[in-house]
């Protein structure tokens, strides 16, 4: 989507039509990115999809160098043809209104690419494309000594051209050419490496991007292991720059920004739905109720009886229970949102177990006659205890845990496509209500059911490489997090949604280790996220956090920070169990 938006034909269309609010916003974004300067285009970009026949060239019976050059020259020929099509789209200008500029020391090589006129470049690019395409698409490839002359003759426009001049509304302006290679992960791995080396030459002034999914990279690159990242015989920062579009070092800030963006996307999409054409829909936030759910009277009575039983089993005095009730009551008075009788009772149960645990770990009284000792670390009713209470109620009574538009955003892990999937399921329920003339707002129970159902189907339908092992790994992590989160004293407050291996242990894994391979695909497919050098307890950890989709399946919190320390063998055993 980003590559298509950045193509010159799109940039020109946006700049020539500033009547709509959307185009004005896009023009500002393009200016911020450097594609537009002073309301004029600054970059002539072309998107080249790589999922077509480029990989077929790697199967040809030629030396590796020949195969690489054939694919690279085909790519360059198509880039030149695509640029010229973009620059002349919809008859905006003729070929005579386009001039290509060569690097000072490459005048002689300009002849080999058809000269610097748009007509000559176009004619030569067609000849090269026709010759090379015939080699790769034929049923029987010609022998090496019978390759067409146009396929093997020197042809390197990326080396020669450094700028393009066009007639822009009666004024000649200079543009920087840019080739955006999309979906390069579809190439053969060795072919991708060879293409990377060819494109990372610093002298080349023709801009080039290589856009790919994470699963095309090595495990070391995806998991950000300094000692395991391939250098491609090139220096990062000097010969190439990595731009990870999924990673934001400040996760809290990234989540906040995504919430705002996702709500804006939803509000743009809703009016386009047929059901709402004649009745303007409210914003998505108004369609998803955020009113706290309540247990039924029967469930609340059952919960209160279980709290009384725990008090009796733990041998906690009525006076201590009264003090704990007061702590919870004071918290509920100052934090009115979702701290009703059900959450208060669950908080009380957690604090009873925390009291018992702290007292049992305290040094016994010298006199041995203290039947209601004060814990060394005083009890506190706070947000962590409240979150833990809600998680316990979700698993014990199916009380909704994930509802409201912010939870839908957080379930998406800052991925717009995932967000649209969840929002689309919820809007489908709203459409059904609209057709049946019922209130449009969805209750938390329905939201929880829809989100969890979508998440389960997503996980069940994983079909990427190593999907079975990734499913086994995330299932093991999820079960461990549920077990830890549901301990009676809620030791992690809101609960765990991650495991962590000590950095010194994780860093010892070799690049070809199956654990790293599976984790790479888990990250690339949106099953987990990895945070290296996570500081906790005076030690550094490799944090493996479940994404919102997997957390929904297991009924875990989206609140970050709670993790379970594990050994590397925990990951290995989970993978082997697949």
173 three-state secondary structure: strand
* pLDDT of 248: 62
Tell me the chain's radius of gyration from C-alpha atoms.
Answer: 30
As a whole number of angstroms, the distance between CA 133 and CA 142 comes to: 12
* pLDDT of 208: 94
For every residue of 367-412, DSSP letters joined together read SS--SSPPPSS-----HHHHHHHHHHHHHHH----S-SHHHHHHHT
CB atoms within 10 A of CB 436: 7
**Closest Cα to residue 194, out of 76, 80, 71, 77?**
71
Angle at 175 (CA atoms; ends 170, 181), nearest 5 degrees: 135
- In the DSSP assignment, the letter for residue 104 is G
As a whole number of angstroms, the distance between CA 386 and CA 347 comes to: 6
Polymer length of the chain? 578
* pLDDT of 108: 80
As a whole number of angstroms, the distance between CA 438 and CA 446 comes to: 14
Q: Which two tokens stand for residue 568?
A: 């590397």
Extended beta strands in 70-183, E state: 98-102, 161-168, 171-182
Helices and strands (H and E) in the chain: how many:
24, 11
As a whole number of angstroms, the distance between CA 35 and CA 32 comes to: 8
As a whole number of angstroms, the distance between CA 558 and CA 486 comes to: 15
Q: Which two tokens stand for residue 419?
A: 């967000």
Q: What is the pLDDT along the chain (578 residues), one digit of tens a residue?
A: 888 999 999 999 999 998 888 899 899 999 999 999 999 999 999 999 987 788 889 889 999 999 999 999 999 999 999 999 999 998 889 999 999 999 888 878 899 999 999 999 999 999 999 999 999 888 889 999 999 999 999 999 999 999 999 999 889 999 999 999 998 888 888 888 889 988 988 788 899 999 988 777 767 667 766 555 555 566 676 778 888 776 566 778 888 999 999 998 898 888 888 777 777 778 899 999 999 999 999 999 999 999 999 999 999 999 999 999 999 999 999 887 899 999 999 999 999 999 999 998 766 554 444 678 888 899 999 999 999 999 999 999 999 999 999 999 999 988 888 999 999 999 999 988 888 888 889 999 999 999 999 999 999 999 988 999 999 999 999 999 999 999 999 999 999 999 999 999 998 988 789 999 999 999 989 999 999 899 998 999 999 999 999 999 999 999 999 999 999 999 999 999 88
Buried b (16+ CB within 10 A) or exposed e, 396-429: ebebbbbbbbbbbbbbbbbbeebbbbbbebbbeb
* pLDDT of 369: 46
Q: How far out from the chain centre does Cα 308 lie?
A: 45
Q: How far out from the chain centre does Cα 1 lie?
A: 15
User: Backbone phi, then psi, for 173, in 5-degree steps?
Assistant: -125, 155
As a whole number of angstroms, the distance between CA 98 and CA 167 comes to: 7
Are 542 and 530 contacting, i.e. CB atoms less than 8 angstroms apart? yes
SS (H, E, C) 415-460: CHHHHHHHHHHHHHHHHHHHHCCCCCCECHHHHHHHHHHHHHHHHH
Global pTM value: 0.81
Among the residues of 486-565, which ranges form H helices? 503-506, 514-524, 548-554
Q: Residue written as tokens 């839908």? A: 408
Dihedral angle computed from the Cα positions of residues 512, 514, 519 and 524, in that order, rounded to the nearest 10 degrees: 70
**Closest Cα to residue 300, out of 338, 344, 331?**
344
Q: Is 290 exposed, middle or buried (0-12, 13-18, 19+ CB in 10 A)?
A: middle
* pLDDT of 434: 84
* pLDDT of 247: 56
**Closest Cα to residue 572, out of 507, 524, 530, 517?**
517
* pLDDT of 225: 66
């Amino acid at each position: 989507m980003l590559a298509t938006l950045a193509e010159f034909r799109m940039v020109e269309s946006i700049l020539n039509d500033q009547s709509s609010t959307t185009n004005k916003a896009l023009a500002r974004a393009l200016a911020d990115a450097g594609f537009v300067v002073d309301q004029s285009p600054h970059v002539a970009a072309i998107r080249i999809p790589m999922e077509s026949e480029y990989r077929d060239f790697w199967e040809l019976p030629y030396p590796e160098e020949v195969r690489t050059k054939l694919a690279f020259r085909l790519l360059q020929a198509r880039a030149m043809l695509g640029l010229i099509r973009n620059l002349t789209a919809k008859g905006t200008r003729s070929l005579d209104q386009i001039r290509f500029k060569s690097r000072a020391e490459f005048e002689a090589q300009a002849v080999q690419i058809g000269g610097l006129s748009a007509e000559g470049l176009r004619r030569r690019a067609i000849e090269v494309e026709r010759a090379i395409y015939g080699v790769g698409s034929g049923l029987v490839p010609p022998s090496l000594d019978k390759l067409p002359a146009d396929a093997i003759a020197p042809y390197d426009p990326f080396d020669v051209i450094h700028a393009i001049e066009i007639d822009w509304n009666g004024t000649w302006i200079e543009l920087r050419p840019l080739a955006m290679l999309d979906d390069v992960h579809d190439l053969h791995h060795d072919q991708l490496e060879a293409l990377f080396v060819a494109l990372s030459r610093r002298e080349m002034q023709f801009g080039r991007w290589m856009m790919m999914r994470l699963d095309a990279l090595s495990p070391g690159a995806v998991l950000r292991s300094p000692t395991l990242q391939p250098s491609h015989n090139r220096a990062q920062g000097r010969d190439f720059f990595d731009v990870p579009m999924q990673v934001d070092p400040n996760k809290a800030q990234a989540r906040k920004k995504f919430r705002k963006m996702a709500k804006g996307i939803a509000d743009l999409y809703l009016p386009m739905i047929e059901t709402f054409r004649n009745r303007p829909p409210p914003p998505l936030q108004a369609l998803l109720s955020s009113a706290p759910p309540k247990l039924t009277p029967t469930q609340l009575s059952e919960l209160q009886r279980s709290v009384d039983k725990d008090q009796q089993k733990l041998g906690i005095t009525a006076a201590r229970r009264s003090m704990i009730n007061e702590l919870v009551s004071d918290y509920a008075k100052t934090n009115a949102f979702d701290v009703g009788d059900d959450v208060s009772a669950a908080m009380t149960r957690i604090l009873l177990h925390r009291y018992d645990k702290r007292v049992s770990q305290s040094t016994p009284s010298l006199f041995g006659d203290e039947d209601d000792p004060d814990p060394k670390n005083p009890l506190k009713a706070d947000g962590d205890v409240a979150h833990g209470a809600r998680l316990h109620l979700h698993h014990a009574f199916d009380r909704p845990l994930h509802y409201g538009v912010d939870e839908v955003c957080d379930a998406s892990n800052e991925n717009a496509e995932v967000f649209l999937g969840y929002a689309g399921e919820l809007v489908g329920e709203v459409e059904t209500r609209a057709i049946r003339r019922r209130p449009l707002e969805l209750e938390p129970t329905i939201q929880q059911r829809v989100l969890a159902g979508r998440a389960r189907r997503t996980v069940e339908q994983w079909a990427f490489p190593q999907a079975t092992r990734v499913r086994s790994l995330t299932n093991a992590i999820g079960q461990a997090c549920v077990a830890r989160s549901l301990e009676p004293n809620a030791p992690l407050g809101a609960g765990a949604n991650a495991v962590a291996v000590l950095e010194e242990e994780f860093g010892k894994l070799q690049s070809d280790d199956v654990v790293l391979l599976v984790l790479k695909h888990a990250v690339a497919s949106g099953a987990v996220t990895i945070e290296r050098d996570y500081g906790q307890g005076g030690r550094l950890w490799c944090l493996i956090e479940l994404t919102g989709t997997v957390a929904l399946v297991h009924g875990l919190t989206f609140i970050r920070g709670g993790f379970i320390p594990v050994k590397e063998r925990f990951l290995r055993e989970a993978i082997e169990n697949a």
